[in-house]
Amino acid sequence: MKDSERKTKVRAERVDTKCGYIGHMTVDEIKERSIGEFVDVACPECGEYHLTLEEKEEAEARKISRTQRYARLKSQAEPDKKSR
């Protein structure tokens, strides 16, 4: 057997950033998937703290465009229309 065949393969995830779709997660789900003592347990999808599965499912059901965070980001991204 070659050395490359004997190496253990490890899969790692970073749940504290949204570089790919992970979806909404509860605090417990984030802790399960994280390594280390200090973990940001804010949901990687929306930044809220979901303590129960019901809270997570409620967040999944919401339309993103109806959130305060979306409105804030949209206003920051769009240039002021009065200056045109």
CA atoms within 13 A on the CB side of 61: 6
Residue 81, SS3 per DSSP = helix
pLDDT tens over the chain, length 84 residues = 666 666 666 565 665 555 555 778 888 888 887 777 888 888 877 888 889 999 999 888 887 777 777 888 888 888 766 554
pTM of the entire structure? 0.47
Domain boundaries defined on the chain: 11-79
* Backbone φ and ψ of 28, nearest 5°: -65, -40
Structure tokens at 8: 């253990």
Query: Distance of CA 75 to CAs 31, 48, 68, Å?
Result: 33, 20, 11
